[in-house]
Amino acid sequence: MRGRGARAWVAAGLLCWGAASPAAQEGATGAGTGLRFSGFGTLAASYHDAQDTQFRARADQREGAQAGRLETGIDSVLGVQADVQVDARWSSMAQVVVRKDGKGEWAPRLSWGFVKYSPTPALELRAGRLGVDIYMDGDSPHVGYAYTTVRPYTDLYGQFTFDHFDGVDLRASTLVGEGELSLKLYGGRTRGEDYRGAHLFQREGSSTLGATLQWESSALGVRLAWGQVRTPDDGLLAPLAGALREVAPALSPEVAAQARQRAAEMEGGNSDLKYLGLALNWRQGPWSAQLIGVDVRMNRFPGFKGQGLGAMLAYRAGSWKPFVTTSRGKLTPQARPLDLPVDRAELLLVRDGYGRATGLIASDQYSWGVGVRYDLMPNAALKLQLDRIEAKRSSMLLDGSGTSVGPRGVSVFTAALDFVF
């Protein structure tokens, strides 16, 4: 951690890059050339009383909030940013974020770092470390001040943690009616990690491609996003495939053929995760509303199909902004039956491993929440939020050993102070 963290801090100091990131939009002002510094942060504490359950907001968190304890590592974050505007066309930015990672450590990481070239106000090209366009209220889940709620929808966004990449993006825009229409194309090397099944998965060799079409006016925003993450075979399931081949000769001909087929399905080839999302943002007077839908497909064994839906309604009354939210996320593995005999003890480990492989990221849960945001000052907001989560199966909730859980309900209360500077 120390080596990686030190490199991230040094990179931020040396690069001093700048562009219109969420923190810059919310917390920094001014125009022209020169160097700017800005930042953001969230101080948050979560509590619940569901025994043998850990609540986490993202799948890249190794630890969650445990029953009967205040947990500050779920949503707390600190970010610093350096910007340089070279001239009217060239700018650059570096942003370092400190938060709890997949190893359960507070580690600084370079979350953004790019050079931007804008030959005209309607065209921009960026190269470096960039974010995937999946969030409706900003470019990152880390700038809590940009969101009405404490966090983006956990049922939707919590599963997708490969949300930044090293590469390029190109954005073109034009005025259409009362709003701006823009198209962004992007691609590069995927960055991110997952903690599932008590294992930390990193996608260092993966690649990202995507496109975002958006129209936004003062009252309405519409975003259509498509993306793909491709991961080469990492050999994770190779030991299980080998075990199935070893036990096949001792099985009946029919089951042996089934075991060999499943072993072949586990090995070789790329793993593709594809998603398609549609989001609507509406604002009218003191009212605001949001609706998001996502469809996900993944061909990695055993193959998964998923759908997600999130909605929010809020009302602004001076400095107060009460809100209600609801969301649903479902990720279902395709049927890959393997009829191993249940009365043979020597097959116990193989059956257990196969069950874990086919259900590693399976999830079916919904949530509803109620809360209020109070703007203390122009650059700080206090939020109180109560979420009720009902799960048939969840890879976002963990048990005491760090593995996915079965049916259960959890009520989580969170208090957060968001700020930008």
Q: 18-68, pLDDT tens digit by residue?
A: 333 344 333 333 446 799 999 999 999 999 999 999 999 988 888 889 999
* pLDDT bracket for residue 137 (50, 70, 90): low
pLDDT the model gives residue 138: 66
Instruction: Residue 224: name the closest of 164, 183, 167 by CA.
Output: 183
Residue located via tokens 């770092």? 113
Q: Which two tokens stand for residue 156?
A: 């939707």
- Could you give all domains of the chain from N- to C-terminal order, each with its CATH number? 2-232+270-420 (2.40.160.10)
pLDDT in tens, 111-128: 999 999 999 999 999 999
Burial of 247 (C-beta count, 10 Å sphere; 0-12/13-18/19+)? middle
How does DSSP classify residue 206? -
Q: To 5 degrees, how large is the angle CA 211–CA 212–CA 213?
A: 125
For the chain, what is the mean pLDDT? Answer: 87
| Alpha-carbon span 267 to 233, nearest angstrom | 7
CA dihedral 81, 82, 87, 91 (to 10 degrees): -50
pLDDT the model gives residue 136: 66
Instruction: Residue 139: name the closest of 159, 177, 165, 118 by CA.
Output: 165
Report, in angstroms and rounded to the nearest whole number, the Rg of the chain calculated over CA atoms: 23
Residue located via tokens 């009967």? 68
| CB within 8 Å of 14: residues ≥ 6 apart | none
Choice between 15 and 159, residue whose per-residue pLDDT is larger: 159
Burial of 252 (C-beta count, 10 Å sphere; 0-12/13-18/19+)? exposed
pLDDT in tens, 166-222: 999 999 999 999 999 999 999 999 987 877 766 777 777 899 999 999 999 999 999
| CA distances (Å), origin 350, targets 45, 177, 233 | 41, 61, 21
Beta bridge partners of 112: 95
pLDDT the model gives residue 20: 35
Q: Which two tokens stand for residue 54?
A: 């850990």
